[in-house]
Structure 1
């Protein structure tokens, strides 16, 4: 009988941890959805709901923004100019928990064609649609998963053909 109690206790503990992890994963998925929604509406008024006050962001050309105020302003500025009207869609999301309150989310998203760097159509400066890989670091604060750091990289399809380790992007 003692072994049965121990086994049942272990099973109960494992199932509750599994449910807890699923709940945390869903919470992070919700935060990623909020972020993508802001990208598509081109308004970052919701950023306070999904980022830490000290969030940092490294964009696709290596600009490093620090603090929610600057990250929000920089996103708004770039989306007002060259991401204006550009659609974003999630292709995949993989979440890995480093600790009970820190997780890394690798997001592959599809980005529509755009006119960099200033958003102006010059007849020959439209970039093709592309996929981007984002590494997002989430921290659980007061029970809420918040983005603490993000980094965005354009996936080069030609280079990807030669990658010895295939990364699933769809």
Structure 2
């Protein structure tokens, strides 16, 4: 019996290893009906800031990050992801450690659930941020309220507006 339980735990851990931080967050919210989440609870890498970006990564957002002395080579040198680096209908989350981008992702969407995927995919989880806005959270305070499938940052350390 102990072997079966251990094997189940190992399989569960292997399955969850392949999930992105936002997919883990979305699953947690769905399973627990949570009204708040802490983003740092769902990452397994070092980061000290996360930038929540309105829209896709590029242009003025990259320029602003460079102006803040953040090394964005991971984004600039990235090969296109499965769905491309630009997902205009979604926001983007960028994790930064020691002024260097270490990871970025788009919120999970209905593409992986084929029966729900319309011509235009919709987000399973997204951020409540205004158009052209960047909200920066620290790892020590990455708490977000959950409102209708959107994460609402509680205590941002910086807010930028791109015109």
Interval containing the TM-score (normalised by the shorter chain) = under 0.3
**TM norm structure 1:** 0.26
Which of these two proteins has the greater Rg computed from alpha carbons? 1
**TM norm structure 2:** 0.27
- In proportion to residue count, which structure has more helix? 1
Q: Which has the higher contact order (CA 8 A, sep 6+)?
A: 2
